[in-house]
Amino acid sequence: MALRDIKPTRSELINLKKKIALSERGYKILKMKRDGLILEFFKVLEQAKDTRGDLMEKYERAREMMAVANTVEGAIGVKAAAFSVQEVPAITVASKNIMGVVVPEIDASKVKKGLMERGYGILGTTPVIDETALAFEELVEAIIRSAEMETTMKRLLDEIESTKRRVNALEFKVIPEMTAARDFIKMRLDEMEREELFRLKKIKARTT
């Protein structure tokens, strides 16, 4: 199709300008959201580093205590104490919102137990069993905290990537294409006006 055959209208130009303005506002909002999410991610990352470090400490402590308990009580004694536990931890998962991203909030109860709640009793076992049980209870708490942080980080990262793609699409494709279309329509409308003015002048010249 020749350029002369394309005849846009003023209303098309006005509508396109409105779309560009709307896209530019959306672009600014998405950039602010992306930057805000990145800041939140680094905050969570710092917490996750602490949580992961704590988890490794608790894991090493539990492993050491298990080795000591197996030495002092024997494998059968340790298993008997473990199987005597009646109550299991109760875990509830709620959610919270970080800049529009829903992340988990994990709460656990009955993880740490008192001496009388562990089931094996205080007679017939040494304090090593109590210390080992406490070490593993603390490890379970650290695992739960770490799971919450890791899941939060993953969801924030996913949202950051999604928002970045939308920002890039607006910046490098949508807005430039609409801007080029706007400039073309404006140029073509100006040409049409000049053509019409020339035509009218010719008509006027013939009638005078």
Does pTM surpass 0.85?
no
Q: What is the mean pLDDT of residues 100-106?
A: 89
User: What per-residue confidence (pLDDT) applies to 78?
Assistant: 83
Residue 179 within a domain: yes
Q: How many domains does the chain have?
A: 1
- pLDDT of 7-48, one tens digit each? 888 999 999 999 999 999 999 999 999 999 999 999 999 999
Q: Domain for residue 115, yes or no? A: yes
Provide the residue range defining the domain that includes 128. 9-200
Is 188 within 8 Å of 8 (Cβ atoms)? yes
Flag whether pLDDT at 168 surpasses 70.
Answer: yes
DSSP 104-152: EEEEEES-S--GGGSSS-STTS-HHHHHHHHHHHHHHHHHHHHHHHHHH
User: What is the pLDDT of the chain when averaged over all its residues?
Assistant: 87
Mean pLDDT for the stretch of residues 180-203:
88
Higher-confidence residue: 36 or 78? 36
Tokens 């490098």 correspond to what residue?
172
Structure tokens at 13: 């130009």
> Which residues are bridge partners to 107 per DSSP?
92
Read off the CATH number of the domain in which 39 is found.
Answer: 1.10.287.3240
Whole-number pLDDT of residue 60? 96
